[in-house]
Structure formats: structure tokens, C-alpha cells
A and B are shown apart, each in its own frame.
Chain A
Amino acid sequence: MAKPLEELREQLSAIEPDERTYAGIGPADVPALRTLLEEEEGWLAGRAVFALALVGDRAAADALREASTSSREEVRVAVAASADRLAPELSDAVLAPLLDDEVTAVRKFAIRAVSPASDPGLRARVAGLARSERNAAVRAGALTRTEQLGG
């Protein structure tokens, strides 16, 4: 049964979240979580992103794919950081735009979320970032990830 929006907001409002933060949230809560993506507080909108990734069904992945093009950097960062919780066939579409994001921190988390099961094209883009990424720390992260992905 879907939780009322206010209850969901309260549940997600832990200052420092842990596994209990998302207890009992399921597919029925996706519409409310979509609403929370528009929350003024960026950290709370990001919390909704993580909750959607944990739900992980097609509807949640659709919401995340839309969120991956959000104008809010906090939301895109959260999508990138949580995408590895999705099944690969769902996460690829979410991660695709984020590997080229204009914001360094978004690319950082997107690189980490690419997995061995990801589309070869995505893995190749990580390898490319290991050579071309502007930020040295992110470039180093891409190189490490490329090695983990098996080149």
C-alpha cells in the first residue's frame, strides 16, 4: 500500500540515512517519490532518487531516466550514485547521459556505477574518460574503473 506523501517525506528526512531509512518503500510509492524529486531541498530530492533505485522496477527506472536530465545537479549526482542499484538493462539508459555530464562530480559517480554487466559501449566510454577526463581525480577514478571492468 502506498504511503502518504507526508509520511514518505518524514521517513526520508533522516539527516544521516541508513538502511532503515528506506524500510517498507515499494513500487506503490513510486508516484509519491516522483513528487519528492521536485522537493526544494536538494538532499531530500536525492533521497527520493535513492529510494527509486532501491525499488528498481520499470516505473522507478523510468523516473530515474527522467531525473538523469534534471536541471538540478544534486538530483543528477544522486542518480549517478544510485544507478548501480538498478539491474544493468535498466541502469544503462540512466547512466548514458551522465557520463558526459558537464558537472565533474556527476561524471565521477557515473563512472563508478558502470559495471561489468553494463553495455560495452558504456564501458568503452569509461575507458575513454580514463584518457580524456579533465579532472585528474576523476580521470584516475575512470582508469581504476576501467581496470576493474576488464579493460
Chain B
Amino acid sequence: MLTSSDFDDDGHAELVVSSATDLGLLQVSGSTLTATARASSGTWLGGWNLQVQDNRFGPVGDFDGDHRAELVVSSPWGLGILERQGGELRPLTMAANGTRLGEWNLQTGDNRFEQVLDLDGDGRDGLLVTSPWGLGLLGLGRSGLSSHWLFPNGTRLGGWNLQTGDNRFGPAGDLDGDGRDEVLVSSPWGVGVLDVDAGSPTVVAMAANGTRLGGRWNLQTGDNRFRLAGDVDGDGREEVLVTSPWGIGVLALRDGALVPLFLVPNGTRLGEWVVDTASNRFGPLADLDGDGRAELFVSSPWGVGVLEWNGSGLTSSVMAANGARVGEWVVDTRNNRFGRAADYDGDGRAEVLASSPWGVGLLKQSGSTFSTPVMAANGTNAGGWRIDTDDDRYGVRGGCADHVTVHTKTLVTPTAAVRTFLHRQFTEAEQLFADVGIALYRGSLEDLSADPALAHLVALDVGTCTLGAPTAEHVDLYAHRAGVAADDLVVYLVQTLVGGSGTFAGCATHPAGQPGAAIVQAGARWLLAHELGHVLGLRHPPTTPATNADQLMWWTTSWTNTPPDLAESEVSTLLQSLLTHPV
């Protein structure tokens, strides 16, 4: 029941697209994509000053109940909700940091907006907001955004102890079929479902870790990952897809309890698809064939598939191995990226957005295969937007349950070229981490380049660049953490990194309690992501086999089949890092 991204109520979902300089909306028109709105950085969208490099776009929802989607945008200045008016985006509402939205104190520096949901069934979405203080729900009223309710940490919601420091919210969906959304909430203790009853939120269906849900699924929030919600069996109630190192399950809310509708261990063959949660990527989950049930799109190093409900479980309805041509698209999961599904062509079925180094396309389920009603190669002029998968980011990222915040401090003058470099590094890192459920928030940018006392650190001595063994210069530079919270990361941009083994492109060594990394301005697109991976606990994979060059943590910049991959075991490491926090 979560809102689609139809910005003009024409039955076609639009695709939010952004680049290093522009923001736009793309819509399917026949067999082509065309831009229905576009604006460049520096443009005033009504009262909102668009700055693509420090604005955060998403999520999308229908906040005023007009059946048209709006786009949430936040920045170091504050929060806005943009709607499409003709060929332009304009703020439906906006508020500066420090504004009281009802009782909520808006501070985009530490407020997190990940979930959009209609908790009260009035047809208008609300924006779930979390902060170190607590939890709130913002909704659009006559005078702008206001809090419907808010609770400080320590509040008991039903029996649930609200603690935004370790509670994870999502996925959201109408789990009980009452026309209102609920949100799965998990913690180191267990899980529950946040529901609104008589206008007041409470947590139901609580279960502690170690509980066998329905007598079968072993609940362990340490390694269970609650990924997606959708009406898998078509009964009008949405279910939650859960995965673990053991296998996958579909959890349903039945009679006030979470129970597995279906679960299978790794190695099980679902039709032709062999489940392996270590290598399978799950999602999107959407009604791909118009039967009223949500199908699960899944990809792996082998290829892609669709799993659908057959009355008693999931089975494959579409299979396509790498190298197969589906419609005009050549499947290659080594470098294909699959975005969110939506009904882009208005036929009542959702299509999956695919992108690759070649361009973008929509994959439409057609019986036991896919067709490609829309394909656009890089360089295509899509009604004023030049398709460039090298630079564009398609769609807003899905809601993430975990996050890291990364600030930037530069010893290099932040010229336009430097800012573009940083934007690109952050964009790639954000996308890579978002794909595994971790939101990477950009923190502050501080220019230290004019400080003559730091001039000698422009070329930073990193010694052997051994984790846990910072040099004296590491200590000097990393002491500069103004405006950075204790567990936030800092990336220091320097001109040169020098150690006993030569010049470095990046180095993740940092003093204890001052997490961060240093990088130089390089062409390697995933350099920042690589170094952040180190800070969060990842190590280089073995140098053999050569296919390990597909991994983000490959030891050189010669990644193959980009974007690079994160193994499921690495995702677990990232999530277990003390620097990764619930949203």
C-alpha cells in the first residue's frame, strides 16, 4: 500500500533521476523515456535552493492525499517536500532546521527520514522520523509539516522499549489488511510490529530472540535481515521477506503474531531457482504480472529470476541466466543493477528498472520471460535529460534500517572539480551501501586547506598504513573532528598519501576513537567506499581467484564487472560494526 512514484496521477510512475548537477523526473512515453521535469543545481525551486551535491532526495510519498507523489528533500538547511507542478518541481512545504514541526524539533543533521507510510489509513502518507532523542511521525497539515505524535527514547510502546539507538524500523506495509500501514521494528532483543491503534502507536506481535516463530523460524535479529514487504499471497495483507545465513522466510502477521507463511533453507530448489542467501540479492518485491500478488525479483552470480506464490510457497516463474537476451536486454548480473519496481507504463503491472554500463531499460515480466518495453542507451536524449548511467542515479534509494554518517574535511582547496569528485565518490558509496540496506549519510564538509599550520599534512605520512597503528601525522590530522559525533566517520581529502611502501590512493588507518580514512583525488570511483569498508571492518579478499576483482575490497583499483560487489558475509561485518547504527 506504500505510495507509488506517480507524480502527476496519470497512472504512470515517474522515475526520480539525479546527476552531479541536475535533478529530474523521467516518464515512459511509448517506448522511450522523457523528462517531465528538470532543474540544475543553484536553481530556486520556489523557495528551495536546489543543490544536488548536498541535497538528499527521498523517500517518495503522497503527503497531501491528492494521489500524486511528492519527493522528500533534506539538506543542511532543512527539510522540504517537492511536488511536480507542470514541468517544474516546487516545494509543497519546507522548513528550516530549528523549526518546531508541531512538537518535533527539526534538525536534519541527526534526524533520519527513511520510511513513508500511511499509519492511519487516511490516504495521506506520513514521514517517520527518528533522532537520538526518539521517534515521531510527521504529516502534512494546513500549516505545513507537523508531528502527529512523538515519543522520547525509553517510552514503552505497548511492551516495547523505544530506543532509537538500537531499534531498526522497516520494512513497512499493511501487514494486517486494515488499510493502514504497520512497521516492523527490530532490536537486539527481538522484533515487533509498530501499529497505530485509536491514533496512538503501540507495538504488537513482539517476539524475543530465540523464539521459534510459528514453531519454525528461529528468530535471531543478529543475523536475520528483514528486507521487503509485499502481499506475496494476494490475501490483501502484506508479508515480510526475511533472510538469514540459514535460508529465507516469508513472515505474516496472523492473529497478533508473526508466523512464517513459508520458509526454506539454503540449497532448496524453488522451481528452478536454488536459494542461497550468501549470494542471492532479493528485491524488488512487487506485482510484476498483474495478478494481485507481489513477486520477488532475485539475482545472483548465475543470473536473474522471479519467484512467485503458487498457493503454498514460492517457485520460479522466470529464469534468465547471464548472457541471455531478454527482450533487448542482455542479462549480466556482474554489472547490471536492478532498481525499484513500479508501474512505469501504466498497465497495472510493475516493471523492474535495470541499468548497466550500456544504459537503462525496463524489464517487464511476460509469461516466463522478460520483455523490454523501454531501452535507452547512454547518450540518449530523454526529452532533455541525457542518459548517462556513469553519472546518473536512478530512483531514490529504498528505506534503510542502518546507517553510517561520513563527514568530509579537505586539505585540498574545494574547487568545483574537487566537489564533483567528492560528490561522485559519495554517490557511488551511497548506492553500494544502500543496496545492502545501509544508508550512508553525508555529514559536514569542512575546508581546512587555508590553515597554514596544516600545510605539511597536505602530503600525509601514513607509515605502513596498518590498522591500529596510526602515525604521528594521523594523530595530528584526525584530531580535527569539529562538528563530528563520536561514532561518525570522517574522510580526509589530501593531495598525497605517503608511506614506507610508496604513495597510497587511500588509507583507513585512524587513531582509536577517531574513525575515518584519508583519500586522494583519484579516478577510482569506489575509492571512498573501499576505505569506508576498511573502517567498518572489511579486509581485502584473497588475490585469487581473479573473479575476486569483482569485490569492492579488491586490493587494486582495477575492479571488474563494476559496480563492485559486497559478499553477504561482508554485509554482516558492516552491520556488526560498532560504527553502523540503526536509522
Binding site for B on A (CB under 8 A): 10, 13-19, 21-22, 40-44, 46-47, 49-51, 73-74, 77-78, 81-82, 103-106, 108-109, 134-138, 141
Contact = CB atoms under 8 A, between A and B. Distances in A.
Contacts of B457: 105
> In this complex, which of B497, B498, B555 has the most chain A Cβ atoms within 10 angstroms of its Cβ?
B498
Contacts of B464: 18
A46 B497 CA distance: 10
B400 to A, nearest CB: 26
Given A16-B501, A109-B498, 12 more contacts: A13-B557, A15-B524, A15-B555, A16-B504, A42-B496, A50-B502, A73-B495, A74-B459, A74-B520, A104-B456, A105-B455, A108-B459
B505 interface: yes
Contact of B496 (A14, A73, A104, A141): A73
Interface in B493-512: 495-499, 501-507
Contacts of A137: 453, 456, 476
A82 B502 contact: yes
Given A73-B495, A73-B496, A77-B459, A14 B453 contact: no
Residues of A contacting B: mostly: helix
Given A13-B556, A104-B456, A137-B453, A74 B495 contact: yes
Q: Which 9 A-B pairs have the closest CB atoms?
A: A46-B503, A105-B459, A50-B502, A104-B455, A17-B501, A13-B556, A77-B459, A81-B498, A17-B502
Nearest to B503: A46
Contact of A105 (B476, B495, B505, B527): B495
24 contacts: A10-B556, A15-B504, A15-B524, A16-B505, A17-B504, A18-B501, A40-B523, A43-B496, A43-B520, A43-B522, A46-B503, A50-B502, A51-B502, A77-B496, A78-B496, A104-B455, A105-B455, A105-B456, A105-B459, A105-B495, A108-B459, A109-B459, A135-B455, A137-B453
B312 interface: no
A43 B458 contact: no
A16 B522 CA distance: 13
Contacts of B502: 17, 21-22, 46-47, 49-51, 78, 82
A125 to B, nearest CB: 18
A141 B496 CA distance: 19
Given A46-B503, A137-B453, A15 B458 contact: no
Contact of B501 (A10, A19, A77, A104): A19
B458 A104 contact: yes
A46 B503 CA distance: 6
A25 to B, nearest CB: 11
B458 A16 contact: no
A46 B521 CA distance: 13
Which one of A46, A77, A105, A141 has the highest number of Cβ atoms from chain B below 10 Å of its Cβ?
A105
A21 B465 CA distance: 14
Contacts of B527: 15
A21 B500 CA distance: 12
**Which of B505, B507, B531 has the largest count of A CB atoms less than 10 A from its CB?**
B505
B530 interface: yes
Given A16-B506, A16-B507, A42 B520 contact: yes
B151 to A, nearest CB: 45
Q: Which of A10, A16, A19, A43 has the most CB of B within 10 A?
A: A16
Interface in B59-107: none
Contacts of B524: 15
A105 B555 contact: no
Given A10-B558, A43-B504, A106 B459 contact: yes
Nearest to B501: A17
A50 B458 CA distance: 19
Given A15-B557, A18-B501, A41-B522, A136 B507 contact: no
Contacts of A141: 456
B452 interface: yes
B496 A16 contact: no
A135 B452 contact: yes
A109 B461 CA distance: 9
A61 B531 CA distance: 33
B506 A15 contact: yes
Contact of B498 (A19, A77, A104, A138): A77
A86 B359 CA distance: 50
Interface in B441-492: 452-453, 455-459, 461, 464-465, 476
B504 A21 contact: no
Contacts of B556: 10, 13-15
Interface string B518-559: 001111100100110000000000000000000000011110
Contacts of B503: 17, 42-44, 46-47, 49-50, 74, 77-78, 81
Q: Among A46, A78, A106, A141, which residue has the most Cβ atoms of chain B within 10 A?
A: A46
Given A15-B504, A40-B523, A105 B453 contact: no
B472 to A, nearest CB: 10
Contacts of A13: 556-558
B244 to A, nearest CB: 32
Contacts of A77: 459, 495-496, 498, 503
A49 B498 CA distance: 12
Contacts of B452: 134-135
A77 B523 CA distance: 20
B461 to A, nearest CB: 8
